[in-house]
Structure 1
Amino acid sequence: MTHANQEIIHRFFDAYGKRDMDALREVMSEDVTWNFPGRSQVSGVIRGLPDVVAFFDRISGFEMRSETYVTGANDDYIVEAQRTYTVAPDSDFEMEYCVLWRFADGKIVNGTHLCADQHRADAFFDGAER
Protein backbone atom coordinates (compact mmCIF):
# COMPACT_ATOMS: atom_id res chain seq x y z
CA MET A 1 0.00 0.00 0.00
CA THR A 2 1.29 3.45 -0.90
CA HIS A 3 1.50 6.06 1.87
CA ALA A 4 -0.28 9.37 1.20
CA ASN A 5 3.06 11.22 1.38
CA GLN A 6 4.39 9.10 -1.48
CA GLU A 7 1.54 10.45 -3.58
CA ILE A 8 2.64 13.99 -2.65
CA ILE A 9 6.14 13.19 -3.96
CA HIS A 10 4.66 11.87 -7.21
CA ARG A 11 2.55 15.02 -7.54
CA PHE A 12 5.66 17.13 -6.88
CA PHE A 13 7.62 15.49 -9.72
CA ASP A 14 4.64 15.74 -12.06
CA ALA A 15 4.17 19.45 -11.28
CA TYR A 16 7.91 20.08 -11.52
CA GLY A 17 8.06 18.36 -14.92
CA LYS A 18 5.31 20.65 -16.17
CA ARG A 19 6.74 23.72 -14.40
CA ASP A 20 3.29 24.22 -12.89
CA MET A 21 4.00 26.57 -9.99
CA ASP A 22 0.39 26.49 -8.76
CA ALA A 23 0.52 22.69 -8.52
CA LEU A 24 3.95 22.90 -6.85
CA ARG A 25 2.50 25.21 -4.21
CA GLU A 26 -0.19 22.59 -3.51
CA VAL A 27 2.45 20.00 -2.55
CA MET A 28 5.44 22.04 -1.37
CA SER A 29 5.63 24.69 1.32
CA GLU A 30 6.59 28.20 0.17
CA ASP A 31 9.38 28.17 2.79
CA VAL A 32 10.62 24.65 1.94
CA THR A 33 14.31 23.90 2.52
CA TRP A 34 16.43 21.43 0.60
CA ASN A 35 19.77 20.08 1.81
CA PHE A 36 22.31 18.83 -0.71
CA PRO A 37 25.40 18.04 1.37
CA GLY A 38 28.95 18.36 0.17
CA ARG A 39 31.23 21.03 -1.21
CA SER A 40 30.34 20.99 -4.89
CA GLN A 41 28.87 23.83 -6.88
CA VAL A 42 25.36 22.45 -6.24
CA SER A 43 25.82 21.76 -2.51
CA GLY A 44 24.21 23.71 0.27
CA VAL A 45 20.92 24.48 1.94
CA ILE A 46 18.40 25.88 -0.49
CA ARG A 47 15.55 27.92 0.97
CA GLY A 48 12.17 28.78 -0.50
CA LEU A 49 10.10 27.27 -3.28
CA PRO A 50 11.55 29.33 -6.18
CA ASP A 51 15.14 28.51 -5.17
CA VAL A 52 14.36 24.81 -4.63
CA VAL A 53 12.84 24.67 -8.14
CA ALA A 54 15.98 26.40 -9.47
CA PHE A 55 18.13 23.81 -7.65
CA PHE A 56 16.25 20.96 -9.32
CA ASP A 57 16.70 22.77 -12.64
CA ARG A 58 20.46 22.84 -12.02
CA ILE A 59 20.80 19.16 -11.25
CA SER A 60 18.32 18.26 -13.98
CA GLY A 61 20.82 19.61 -16.48
CA PHE A 62 22.14 16.07 -16.30
CA GLU A 63 20.13 13.15 -17.62
CA MET A 64 19.19 11.32 -14.43
CA ARG A 65 17.18 8.27 -13.55
CA SER A 66 16.90 6.34 -10.33
CA GLU A 67 16.00 2.89 -9.13
CA THR A 68 14.40 2.86 -5.70
CA TYR A 69 15.49 -0.07 -3.54
CA VAL A 70 13.33 0.51 -0.50
CA THR A 71 11.01 3.16 0.89
CA GLY A 72 10.02 3.76 4.49
CA ALA A 73 7.17 6.08 5.40
CA ASN A 74 5.27 7.53 8.31
CA ASP A 75 3.07 10.61 8.62
CA ASP A 76 6.02 13.02 8.90
CA TYR A 77 8.81 11.44 6.83
CA ILE A 78 9.62 9.30 3.85
CA VAL A 79 13.07 7.88 3.25
CA GLU A 80 13.98 6.40 -0.11
CA ALA A 81 17.12 4.35 -0.67
CA GLN A 82 18.01 4.44 -4.33
CA ARG A 83 20.69 4.08 -6.96
CA THR A 84 20.90 7.09 -9.23
CA TYR A 85 22.27 6.93 -12.74
CA THR A 86 23.48 10.22 -14.19
CA VAL A 87 24.58 10.71 -17.77
CA ALA A 88 26.69 13.75 -18.63
CA PRO A 89 28.03 14.58 -22.10
CA ASP A 90 31.43 13.10 -21.31
CA SER A 91 30.79 10.50 -18.58
CA ASP A 92 28.29 8.37 -16.69
CA PHE A 93 27.97 8.38 -12.92
CA GLU A 94 26.24 5.97 -10.52
CA MET A 95 25.73 6.59 -6.82
CA GLU A 96 23.59 5.23 -4.03
CA TYR A 97 21.59 7.92 -2.26
CA CYS A 98 19.06 8.16 0.48
CA VAL A 99 16.55 10.96 0.16
CA LEU A 100 14.80 12.03 3.34
CA TRP A 101 11.56 13.94 2.75
CA ARG A 102 9.80 15.75 5.62
CA PHE A 103 6.11 16.71 5.52
CA ALA A 104 3.82 19.03 7.47
CA ASP A 105 0.21 19.93 6.81
CA GLY A 106 0.14 17.78 3.67
CA LYS A 107 3.12 19.48 2.05
CA ILE A 108 6.83 18.85 1.56
CA VAL A 109 8.72 21.11 3.97
CA ASN A 110 12.24 19.69 3.70
CA GLY A 111 14.33 17.31 1.67
CA THR A 112 17.83 15.98 2.24
CA HIS A 113 20.03 13.99 -0.13
CA LEU A 114 22.61 11.72 1.51
CA CYS A 115 25.04 9.89 -0.74
CA ALA A 116 27.27 6.87 -0.35
CA ASP A 117 30.48 8.68 -1.37
CA GLN A 118 30.29 12.43 -0.86
CA HIS A 119 33.80 13.14 -2.20
CA ARG A 120 33.04 11.32 -5.45
CA ALA A 121 29.66 13.08 -5.79
CA ASP A 122 31.34 16.47 -5.25
CA ALA A 123 33.92 15.62 -7.92
CA PHE A 124 31.18 14.68 -10.38
CA PHE A 125 29.07 17.81 -9.83
CA ASP A 126 32.20 19.97 -10.09
CA GLY A 127 33.22 18.30 -13.35
CA ALA A 128 36.30 16.44 -12.08
CA GLU A 129 34.79 13.02 -12.88
CA ARG A 130 33.73 14.05 -16.36
Structure 2
Amino acid sequence: MAEHPHAALVRKGFEAFSRGDMDALRGMIASDATHHVPGDHPLSGDFKGVDAIIEMYERLGMETDGTMDSELIGICVDGRGHVVAMNRFTAERKGRRLDDTGCIIFRIVGDKVTDLDECVEDIDKNNAFWA
Protein backbone atom coordinates (compact mmCIF):
# COMPACT_ATOMS: atom_id res chain seq x y z
CA MET A 1 0.00 0.00 0.00
CA ALA A 2 1.34 3.42 -0.95
CA GLU A 3 2.06 6.03 1.68
CA HIS A 4 -0.63 8.72 2.02
CA PRO A 5 0.44 11.91 0.17
CA HIS A 6 0.26 13.98 3.36
CA ALA A 7 2.51 11.51 5.18
CA ALA A 8 4.90 11.55 2.21
CA LEU A 9 5.03 15.37 2.29
CA VAL A 10 5.86 15.42 6.01
CA ARG A 11 8.49 12.69 5.56
CA LYS A 12 10.11 14.70 2.75
CA GLY A 13 10.05 17.75 5.02
CA PHE A 14 11.87 15.91 7.80
CA GLU A 15 14.45 14.66 5.29
CA ALA A 16 15.00 18.19 3.94
CA PHE A 17 15.28 19.59 7.50
CA SER A 18 17.89 16.93 8.35
CA ARG A 19 19.92 17.88 5.26
CA GLY A 20 19.57 21.59 6.00
CA ASP A 21 17.81 22.04 2.66
CA MET A 22 15.87 25.22 3.34
CA ASP A 23 14.98 25.69 -0.34
CA ALA A 24 13.18 22.33 -0.37
CA LEU A 25 11.35 23.23 2.86
CA ARG A 26 10.38 26.61 1.44
CA GLY A 27 8.69 24.78 -1.44
CA MET A 28 6.62 22.65 0.97
CA ILE A 29 5.39 25.44 3.26
CA ALA A 30 2.62 27.88 2.34
CA SER A 31 3.72 31.52 2.19
CA ASP A 32 1.34 32.44 5.03
CA ALA A 33 1.94 29.37 7.23
CA THR A 34 2.55 29.60 10.98
CA HIS A 35 4.86 27.44 13.09
CA HIS A 36 3.93 27.43 16.79
CA VAL A 37 6.85 26.59 19.13
CA PRO A 38 5.95 25.87 22.77
CA GLY A 39 7.77 27.17 25.80
CA ASP A 40 9.09 30.31 27.37
CA HIS A 41 12.46 30.90 25.73
CA PRO A 42 13.95 33.00 22.91
CA LEU A 43 13.03 30.45 20.21
CA SER A 44 9.44 29.90 21.33
CA GLY A 45 6.38 31.62 19.97
CA ASP A 46 4.54 31.90 16.69
CA PHE A 47 6.59 32.24 13.53
CA LYS A 48 4.29 33.62 10.84
CA GLY A 49 5.10 33.33 7.17
CA VAL A 50 7.50 31.04 5.38
CA ASP A 51 10.39 33.51 5.69
CA ALA A 52 10.05 33.70 9.48
CA ILE A 53 9.77 29.92 9.72
CA ILE A 54 12.89 29.33 7.62
CA GLU A 55 14.81 31.96 9.61
CA MET A 56 13.83 30.14 12.83
CA TYR A 57 15.05 26.81 11.41
CA GLU A 58 18.35 28.42 10.41
CA ARG A 59 18.69 29.88 13.89
CA LEU A 60 18.19 26.42 15.42
CA GLY A 61 21.19 25.26 13.42
CA MET A 62 23.30 28.26 14.40
CA GLU A 63 22.38 28.06 18.10
CA THR A 64 23.38 24.38 18.21
CA ASP A 65 26.47 24.66 15.99
CA GLY A 66 24.84 22.17 13.64
CA THR A 67 24.47 19.45 16.30
CA MET A 68 20.69 19.28 16.19
CA ASP A 69 18.98 16.23 14.81
CA SER A 70 15.29 15.51 14.45
CA GLU A 71 14.71 11.79 14.00
CA LEU A 72 11.28 10.92 12.66
CA ILE A 73 9.75 8.14 14.78
CA GLY A 74 6.32 7.82 13.19
CA ILE A 75 3.59 9.53 11.20
CA CYS A 76 -0.20 9.37 11.60
CA VAL A 77 -2.69 10.91 9.15
CA ASP A 78 -6.44 11.48 9.27
CA GLY A 79 -6.95 11.86 5.52
CA ARG A 80 -8.49 15.31 6.05
CA GLY A 81 -5.32 17.41 6.10
CA HIS A 82 -3.94 16.65 9.55
CA VAL A 83 -0.67 14.82 10.15
CA VAL A 84 0.93 14.05 13.49
CA ALA A 85 4.66 13.34 13.30
CA MET A 86 6.42 12.01 16.39
CA ASN A 87 10.11 12.78 16.56
CA ARG A 88 13.16 12.61 18.80
CA PHE A 89 15.06 15.90 18.93
CA THR A 90 18.67 15.99 20.07
CA ALA A 91 21.08 18.93 20.18
CA GLU A 92 23.99 20.42 22.08
CA ARG A 93 24.25 24.06 23.08
CA LYS A 94 26.43 25.99 25.55
CA GLY A 95 27.65 22.81 27.24
CA ARG A 96 24.15 21.38 27.58
CA ARG A 97 22.50 18.49 25.77
CA LEU A 98 18.83 18.12 24.88
CA ASP A 99 17.32 14.73 24.14
CA ASP A 100 13.53 14.92 24.05
CA THR A 101 10.58 13.39 22.27
CA GLY A 102 7.85 15.49 20.75
CA CYS A 103 5.22 15.78 18.07
CA ILE A 104 4.41 18.25 15.37
CA ILE A 105 0.80 18.52 14.28
CA PHE A 106 0.73 19.60 10.65
CA ARG A 107 -2.19 21.12 8.76
CA ILE A 108 -1.94 20.55 5.02
CA VAL A 109 -4.05 22.25 2.38
CA GLY A 110 -3.50 21.03 -1.16
CA ASP A 111 0.17 20.14 -1.28
CA LYS A 112 1.45 22.76 1.21
CA VAL A 113 1.87 22.84 4.97
CA THR A 114 -0.19 25.72 6.36
CA ASP A 115 0.28 25.23 10.10
CA LEU A 116 2.78 23.45 12.35
CA ASP A 117 2.00 23.09 16.04
CA GLU A 118 4.75 21.55 18.19
CA CYS A 119 4.34 19.64 21.44
CA VAL A 120 7.27 18.42 23.54
CA GLU A 121 7.53 15.74 26.17
CA ASP A 122 9.39 17.86 28.74
CA ILE A 123 8.70 21.58 28.34
CA ASP A 124 10.83 22.53 31.38
CA LYS A 125 13.84 20.71 29.91
CA ASN A 126 13.32 22.52 26.60
CA ASN A 127 12.98 25.90 28.29
CA ALA A 128 16.23 25.34 30.22
CA PHE A 129 18.11 24.20 27.11
CA TRP A 130 17.08 27.18 24.94
CA ALA A 131 17.30 29.82 27.72
Report the TM range for the smaller structure's normalisation: 0.7 to 0.9
**One-letter identity of the residue aligned with 1:6:** A
The aligned residue for residue 123 of structure 1 is 128
The match for 1:72 among 73, 76, 95 is 76
Q: Deviations over 1:22-43 (max 9, x none)?
A: x545421100000001110001
Q: Say if 2:19 is the partner of 1:14.
A: no
Distance 1:79 1:42, change over 3 A: same
1:54-73 map, 5 Å: 54-61=55-62, 62=64, 63-73=67-77
- Identify which range, 45-54 or 79-88, moves more after superposition: 79-88
Please tell me the residue identity of whatever aligns with 1:44. G
Structure-1 separation of matches of 2:46 and 2:96: 27
Aligned to 2:68, the other structure's residue is in SS state strand
How far is 1:111 from its partner? 0.5
Query: Offset of 1:102 from its aligned partner?
Result: 0.9
Secondary structure (helix, strand or coil) at the match of 1:42 reads coil
Q: Which moved more, 1:5-14 or 1:70-79?
A: 5-14
* 1:36-62: CA deviation from partner (whole Å, max 9, x where unpaired): 011100010110010010111111222
- RMSD of aligned residue pairs (Cα, Å): 2.1
Q: Is residue 100–residue 121 contact of structure 2 (8 Å, CA) maintained in 1?
A: yes
Matched with 1:103 is 108
- Note the 1:75-94 alignment, pairs <5 A: 75=79, 76-94=81-99
| Structure 1: runs of 5+ lacking an equivalent | none
**% of aligned pairs identical?**
20
Rounded Cα–Cα distance in structure 2 between residues aligned with 1:74 and 1:26: 23
Q: Is the 8 A contact 2:97 2:129 kept in 1?
A: no
SS at match of 2:116: strand
Instruction: Report the secondary structure of 1:60's partner residue.
Output: helix
SS across alignment from 1:112: strand
